Structure 1
Amino acid sequence: MKTLLRPAVSLFVLLTAVTGVVYPLAVTGIAKAAFPEAASGSLIVKDGKAVGSSLIGQNFTDPKYFWGRPSATGPMPYNASASGGSNQGPLNPALVDAVKGRIDALKAADPDNKLPIPADLVNASASGLDPHISPAAADYQIERVARIRKLPREAVRTLVDQHTEGRQWGVFGEPRVNVLQLNIALDSLR
C-alpha cells in the first residue's frame, strides 16, 4: 500500500502546485504584460475613480442618458455574478409581454419619436451584460437625450458618431456604441 500511496500523494502535490499556483501566476503575468488594460478588467476611470468596465453594461434609466440593451440577469439588471439570458423562446408569452413592456416604456419616454424601435432596445442579450448598443439604437435615442439636456441635436449626434466603434479588425461583428463611455462623454458636454 505504501508503494502506491507515496507516488499518488507526490503526484497530487506536484500537480496542485503546477496547475494551482505556477500556471495561474504565469498566465496572469503574461496577460498583465501583454494586455494590461484587459487584464485589469477594462476599467473606465473618471476623476480618479473607477466608474465601470467597458465590458459590462450598466443600468441607465434616467431619460437624460442613453439606455443600453435590456438585461435579464437577476435579481437586478447587469448583475455580473448572475450572467445569463432569460432563456425564453419567441413563442413564450412572458417574452412577448416583456418586449411589449419595453416598447411601451420607450414610447412613453419619447412619445414624438416615430423612428422604428431597434431590436436591441427591446431584446436582452444572451449574457445580460452587453455594454453596447447598435448605432441605430443610439440614433433612436438622440432626440430624447438632446431635448432633455437642452443640447443641440447635432452636438449629441456628433458625440454618438465619435463613440461608434467599427467592426473588430474591420471584419468581425457589427458597428457598436459603448453606452457607458457615451454617457460619460455626454456628462462632460456643457
Structure 2
Amino acid sequence: MKTLLRPALSLFVLLSAITGLAYPLAVTGIAGAVFPEQAAGSLILQDGKPVGSSLIGQNFSDPKHFWGRPSATAPQPYNAAASSGSNQGPLNPALVDAVKGRVEALRAADPGNTAPIPTDLVSASASGLDPHISPAAALWQTGRVAKARGLPEAQIKALVDAHTEGRQWGLLGEARVNVLKLNLALDALKN
C-alpha cells in the first residue's frame, strides 16, 4: 500500500501546484500584459479614482442623467454578485406588469415625449448588468436630460452621437451607448 500511496500523493501535489498555482498565475500575467485594461476590470477612472466599470451598468435615477436598462438583479440593481435575468417569459403576467410599470414611469418622467419607447428601456438584459443602451434609447431621453440641465437638446444629441459605439469589428452586434461614459461626459459639460 505504501508503494502506491507515495507516488499518488506526489502526483497530487505536483498537479495541484501546476493547475492551482502555476497555470492561473501564468494566465493572469499574460492577460495583464496583453490586455491590461480588461484584466483590471475595465475600470473607468475620474480624478484617479474608479467610478465604475465599462462592463457593468449603474443605477441612474436622476432626471439629469441618462438611464440604463432595467436590472433584474436583487436585492439592488446592477448587483454583480447576483447576475441573472428575471427568467420571466413573454406571457408571464409579472413581466407584463413590470413592463407596464416601467412605461408609466418613463412617461411620467417625460410627459411631453410621445415617441414610442425603445424596448431596451423597459426590458432587463439577460445578465441584469448591461452597461449599454441602444442609440434610440439614448436619443429618446435627450429631451428630459436637456430640460433638467437647462441645455439645448441639440447639444445633448451631439453628445449621444459622440458616445455611440459602432458594431464590434464593424460586423458584430449593434450600435450601442455606454450609459456611464455618456453620463460622465454629460457631467463634464459646462452648464
**TM over 0.5, shorter chain:** yes
In the aligned structure 2, how far is the partner of 1:182 from the partner of 1:57? 12
Determine if the alignment matches structure 1 residue 126 to structure 2 residue 126.
yes
Where 1:45 maps in the other structure, the secondary structure is strand
Where 1:44 maps in the other structure, the secondary structure is strand
Gaps of 5+ in 1: none
Where 2:115 maps in the other structure, the secondary structure is coil
What pairs with 1:45-64 in structure 2 (closer than 5 Å)?
Answer: 45-64=45-64
- Give the letter for the 1:40 counterpart: A
The structural deviation recorded for 1:9 is 0.8
In the aligned structure 1, how far is the partner of 2:188 from the partner of 2:14? 54
In the aligned structure 2, how far is the partner of 1:133 from the partner of 1:127? 14
Which residue matches 2:73?
A: 73
In the aligned structure 2, how far is the partner of 1:161 from the partner of 1:85? 29
Q: Deviations over 1:147-181 (max 9, x none)?
A: 01001111101100010000000000000000000
What pairs with 1:21-100 in structure 2 (closer than 5 Å)?
Answer: 21-100=21-100
The structural deviation recorded for 1:16 is 0.7
Where 2:187 maps in the other structure, the secondary structure is helix
The structural deviation recorded for 1:11 is 1.2
Displaced runs of 4+ in structure 1, greater than 4 A?
none
Measured on the aligned residues, the alpha-carbon RMSD in Å equals 0.6
The structural deviation recorded for 1:3 is 1.7
Gaps of 5+ in 2: none
Q: May I ask how many residue pairs the two structures share in their alignment? A: 190
In the aligned structure 2, how far is the partner of 1:12 from the partner of 1:183? 52
- Give the letter for the 2:93 counterpart: P
Which residue matches 1:174?
A: 174
- Give the letter for the 1:135 counterpart: P
Determine if the alignment matches structure 1 residue 18 to structure 2 residue 51.
no
TM score, norm. by length of structure 2? 0.98
The structural deviation recorded for 1:6 is 1.1
Where 2:52 maps in the other structure, the secondary structure is strand
- Give the letter for the 2:55 counterpart: L
Where 1:66 maps in the other structure, the secondary structure is coil
What pairs with 1:129-148 in structure 2 (closer than 5 Å)?
Answer: 129-148=129-148
Which residue matches 2:117?
A: 117
